[in-house]
Amino acid sequence: MLPIFVIIPLGCAFLIPIVSKIREGLAQILANFGAALLLLFSVMSISWLKSGLQVYYVGGWRPPFGICMVLDGMTVLMLLVVNIIGCLTLVYSIDYIRRYTSPTLYYTLFCLLLAGLNGVVISGDLFNLFVFLEITSIASYALVAFGTEAEDLEASFKYLVLGSIASTLILLGIGMLLGSVSTLNMADISRSLSTSSSKNIILYCLALFIMGFGLKVALVPFHAWLPDAHPAAPAPMSAMLSGVVIKTIGVYALARVLFNIIGFNPTISSILTWMGIISMSVGVLLAIGQWDFKRLLAYHSISQIGYVIFGLGLGTPLGIMGGLFHLFNHSLFKSLLFLNAGAVEYSTGNRQLNKLNGLSKEMPVTSTTSLIASLSIAGIPPLCGFWSKLIIIIAAFQANNPVGAIVCIMVAMVTLASFLKVQKYAFIRRTEEVVSGVKEVPLSMVLAMVVLAILCVLVGIFAIPFLNTVIKPAAEALLNGLNYAGLILRE
Amino acid sequence: MLSYVLCLVLFAIGIYCLLVKKNLIKKIVGLGIMEYAINLFFILLGYRSGGEAPILSKGAVGNNFVDPLPQALILTSIVIGLGVTALMVAIAVRLYEKYRTFDINEIRRLKG
Chain B residue numbers with beta carbons less than 8 Å from the beta carbon of A151 are: 109-110
The Cα B74–Cα B38 span in angstroms is: 9
Among chain B residues, CA nearest to A128: B73
User: Residue A491: pLDDT above 70?
Assistant: no
3 state SS of A57: strand
Cα separation, A432 vs A183, whole angstroms? 68
Quickly name the fold that domain B2-48+65-99 has: Helix Hairpins (1.10.287)
Sign, CA dihedral A425-A429-A430-A431, equals negative
Q: Which of B24, B67, B76 has its CB closest to that of A131?
A: B76
**Beta carbons of A129 and A216 less than 8 angstroms apart:** no
| Residue in chain A nearest B83 by alpha carbon | A138
> Confidence class of residue A435 from pLDDT cuts 50, 70 and 90?
low
The whole-angstrom distance between A228's CA and the closest CA on chain B is 7
Mean pLDDT of A391-418: 94
Q: Which of A154, A182, A292 sits opposite B109 (nearest CB)?
A: A154
What torsion do the CA atoms of A63, A68, A72, A75 make, to the nearest 10 degrees?
A: 150
| B65–A contact, CB cutoff 8 A | no
A411 band by pLDDT with thresholds 50, 70 and 90 = very high
Give me the interface pTM, i.e. the ipTM: 0.93
Yes or no, beta carbons of A178 and B88 under 8 Å apart: no
Q: Do A172 and B109 touch (CB under 8 A)?
A: no
In this structure, of A117-126, A196-205, A240-249, A330-339, the range with the lowest mean pLDDT score is A196-205
Check pLDDT > 90 for residue A101.
Answer: no
- Please, which residues have CB within 8 angstroms of residue A376's CB and are 6 or more apart in sequence? A329, A332, A333, A383, A384, A385, A386, A456, A460
Q: Report the mean per-residue pLDDT for chain A.
A: 90
Inter-chain touch A157–B11, beta carbons under 8 Å: no
Q: What whole-number distance in Å separates Cα of residue A468 and Cα of residue A137?
A: 33
Q: Which of B41, B80, B109 sits opposite A150 (nearest CB)?
A: B109
Report how many Cβ contacts below 8 Å link chain A to chain B. Answer: 91
Residue of B nearest to A227 (CA): B112
The residue ranking higher by pLDDT, A248 or A437, is A248
